[in-house]
Structure 1
Amino acid sequence: MNAVSKNVVLCMLLVMTATACSSNSPNTAPSPKGGNNQTAETSAPENTADPEMEPEQGAKLMVWEAKEQLEYMKGVAADFEKKYGVPVTVEELAGGDQGGRLATDGPAKLAADVLTLPHDQISQAVKAGLLLPNDVFEEETKASMVETAVQASSYDGVLYGYPKSVETYALFYNKDLVPEAPKTWDDIIAFANTYNKPKENKFAIMWEFVGYYTYPFIGSFGGYIFGDGNSNPKDIGLNNEGTIKGFTFLQSLKKILPLNAGDITFDVKTQLFQEGKLAMNIDGPWSTGSFKDHVNFGVVPLPKGPDGEEMISFSGVKSYYVNSYTAYPVAARLFAHFASSKDNQLKNYKMTGAIPASIEAGESQEIKNDPITLGFFEQFQHSVPMPAISEINAVWEPLKAAFVSLWNDPGLDVKQTMDQTVKTIQSDLESK
């Protein structure tokens, strides 16, 4: 039992002996099963793990949802009300604005009871006391969701989120140019040697030279940005043996992509792929709409490294979270759990294209019959969440400068370059 669960149990015991939990903090535990319309500031459940727990009497919820998923969420809300008798109002709010609104409106009791956050925003929300842990459905969530999604929805060892959807990048390939999807970088190198014609802007493969897309050359070879799963900024792994090996391999690929890093932009590679000049493109699901009317393409996981390494990508995870100031912590938990179910994740996929975080949804026939989504889902299982701690902001620019320099000058010493990069990052972190 984790520390949060122990605290919940302690609070329940105190309530059962007529000793109230603190009334000066937001809700930290659900209200009693079938209890009156009251908050957990004055009471806690008889059994938070009760699978038959019921929402508070008179409960009503508000949920924030982005415009592109509004119709989907209205359907989920209607189904939830039908099952639990709790009316749910869905209010449109852009995904990028929900965290900020929670910070201002949560303590004022004006925020939604349930909202969606990308995983890199939860540390700030947790530190501000804005989120309730996913304690009631913790074990079920951990068992039913892809491990990376669970990891990304947790902070300091505590699970807060109810995973909703995932995203990462993978390998787009033009089926008319590359009939059989490449499985290794050796396959790509061999193809490039016969296909590349730089003077005609014909290239085998491209990716953007930013940290997000270049991480496979770090994590796949035993390197890392921060230690302890990207949570310990005192341990920087950008000059360890694995990163040096990965960046040395990166340098070797200049021979199949003879352009300077600054000439390889998102717009350039998108246009070349649309025109049928770029055979393979490392990109994410957000670009499928740009290609479907122009290219006969497929999507597969990133090619394996020279020693058979799975290429590890960065990923993002969106999850539902429960506002700690909700007046209905039981109903809100139930809704977050309900909305993140396998069936609702598949409904979200069908209506919006969102890639499920649920293991069963990912293995469903609907996904298996959609090779584009399946390619991203398979790559997601070889990914790590993008670092969520604020210290990552000291990394991006020095890291980009390092691999741009190493790419533009393949003769540059990798070890010396990365040692200097780590010193720059450490200096920046120490000054803050």
Structure 2
Amino acid sequence: MAALLTFTLAACGGANEDKGNKNAENKPANTNTNKPNGNASTPPPAEELLPEEGASLLVWEESTDFEFLESVAADFKTKYNVDVKFEHVPSPDQADRLANDAPAGLAADVVMFAHDKLGNAVEAGLLFPNDLLEEDTKSAHPDAAIQASSYGGTLYGYPKSVETYAVFYNKALVKDLPKTWDDVVAFSKTFTDNNAKKYGIMWEARLLYFNYPFFVNKGGYIWGKDNTDPTDIGLNNEGAIEGAKYMQTMAEILPLKAENITWDVKTQLFSEGKVAFNIDGPWSISSFKDKVDFGVIPLPDMPDGSKSISLSGVRSYYVNSYTKYPNAAKLFASFVTNKENALKAYNMLGILPSNKEAAADPAITNDPILSGFIKQFENSVPMPSIPETNNVWTPIEGAITKIWNNKDQDVKAALDEAVNTIKESLASGK
């Protein structure tokens, strides 16, 4: 388990009338030690990097993390004599708010969001590369987390946590854990009773995010070149079509309209003991505690024996390119994600740390719940972070809904239509 884990997103924010008029003090900092491709001498090793004199930092984070962060900030103050304050900004809102507030000098020095918003932020010139602490970061985190926190071959993030989905199971209903999807199908045929609202397994069937294992199993993909080439769409190739046909057969054991299998519906049914297996992420653990005696296992293998490859997300800290204190900001982003603080985050917040040493700690690997997500993360790929990905989700959701709801639906026709819509959207620049 030495190469591990944890994940989510960002949106929203207020407009700023002055964002086109950058005052000198609000231009991105550009000292020699912070030029991503400058001609300065080799950056100093991490232990020689010092914060700017008089530096103080503002960090955007979820308010639920404040107790943890204040503890970290106290240690950071002791080590570097830098004050750190925090402002509650939901992770899904940070990237868009950064775009509005950074040029005006109103944004935090350090922000935190899921990697799928990274491309937009980099393209807008809002982030400093993780340059001075790059080697330390790469050695401390698994390749998947580094890949997710990079864009265009450059590392920007300081990975905090990793996330993917796995299978929650009700221990009172399940005696033999499934090894393959065929096992799940066989169990569901004996358990599912639509009239009684009892189902062997549930997941949000309309979403590509959760159906990705079916598409990728036979060679489908979202973008070419490891999800970096928007000119190559693999969602209607032969492999994707074959995988989607197998997905279509799952409607037989989950006989509901795809649009009716929402998070709220399946969460309630699992809590009531009417769903045996529930595909979801670690963000839902708190919804089931004290309600269901459950365990978590990786996704079942495909019928051909191959692993089910899920999509994963990585939440990372990033340094605002408009900060007045880039050195201090980089030091804090690295400090808050080191082994000691990653374990503290696990103990206080219950998150799956990206830090490899922390993730390999027995406290985590022996955790009966989180270990299931850890194992699945090892068989996951990061969600694409290029901006064009925003054009994918809605058309493919429409295609999957058609395929799921109608057993006679021509799978190729539905996927071809969705991919054409994606191409048209990309061509129009929307």
Class of the TM-score when normalised by the shorter of the 2 chains: 0.7 to 0.9
Matched-pair identity in %:
53
Segment of structure 1 superposing worse, 102-111 or 180-189: 102-111
Counterpart for residue 178 of structure 2: 182
Distance 2:87 2:119 in 1: 24
**Contact 1:30-1:48 at 8 Å conserved across structures:** no
Counterpart for residue 132 of structure 1: 128
Matching residue within 92, 97, 103 for 2:99: 103
Distance 1:400 1:66 in 2: 29
Q: From the CA coordinates, give the structure whose radius of gyration is larger.
A: 1
Distance 2:188 2:242 in 1: 22
How much does 1:24 deviate?
Answer: 10
Counterpart for residue 254 of structure 1: 251
Counterpart for residue 28 of structure 2: 26
Counterpart for residue 373 of structure 1: 370
How much does 1:331 deviate?
Answer: 1.7
Counterpart for residue 116 of structure 2: 120
**Contact 1:40-1:329 at 8 Å conserved across structures:** no
Segment of structure 1 superposing worse, 355-364 or 386-395: 386-395
Question: What pairs with 1:4-83 in structure 2 (closer than 5 Å)?
Answer: 26-28=28-30, 31=33, 47-53=42-48, 54-83=50-79
Distance 1:120 1:336 in 2: 19
Distance 1:47 1:59 in 2: 24
Q: Which runs of 5+ in 1 are unaligned?
A: 1-21, 32-38
Residues 106/427 of structure 1: CA separation in 2 closer, same or farther (3 Å cut): closer
Residues 175/27 of structure 1: CA separation in 2 closer, same or farther (3 Å cut): same
How much does 1:260 deviate?
Answer: 2.6
Question: What pairs with 1:297-316 in structure 2 (closer than 5 Å)?
Answer: 297-316=294-313
Question: What pairs with 1:314-353 in structure 2 (closer than 5 Å)?
Answer: 314-353=311-350
Matching residue within 189, 202, 207 for 1:206: 202
Counterpart for residue 21 of structure 2: none
Report the AA paired with residue 304 of structure 1: D
TM score, norm. by length of structure 2: 0.87
Residues 95/177 of structure 1: CA separation in 2 closer, same or farther (3 Å cut): same
Segment of structure 1 superposing worse, 305-314 or 412-421: 412-421
Counterpart for residue 153 of structure 2: 157
Cα RMSD (Å): 2.4
Matching residue within 274, 278, 282 for 1:281: 278
Matching residue within 394, 399, 418 for 1:402: 399
Q: Which runs of 5+ in 2 are unaligned?
A: 1-23
How much does 1:157 deviate?
Answer: 0.9
CA deviation profile, 1:114-135 (whole Å, cap 9, x unmatched) = 1212212222221222211011
Higher relative contact order (CA 8 A, sep 6+): 2
Question: Are 1:424 and 2:421 matched, yes or no?
Answer: yes
Distance 1:66 1:196 in 2: 39
Q: Residue 332 of structure 1 aligns to a residue in which SS?
A: helix
TM score, norm. by length of structure 1: 0.87
Question: What pairs with 1:141-156 in structure 2 (closer than 5 Å)?
Answer: 141-156=137-152
Count, aligned residues: 403
Q: Residue 355 of structure 1 aligns to a residue in which SS?
A: coil
Distance 2:288 2:394 in 1: 30
Residues 271/83 of structure 1: CA separation in 2 closer, same or farther (3 Å cut): same
CA deviation profile, 1:215-251 (whole Å, cap 9, x unmatched) = 2211233211111222222111011122112111112
Distance 2:39 2:25 in 1: 12
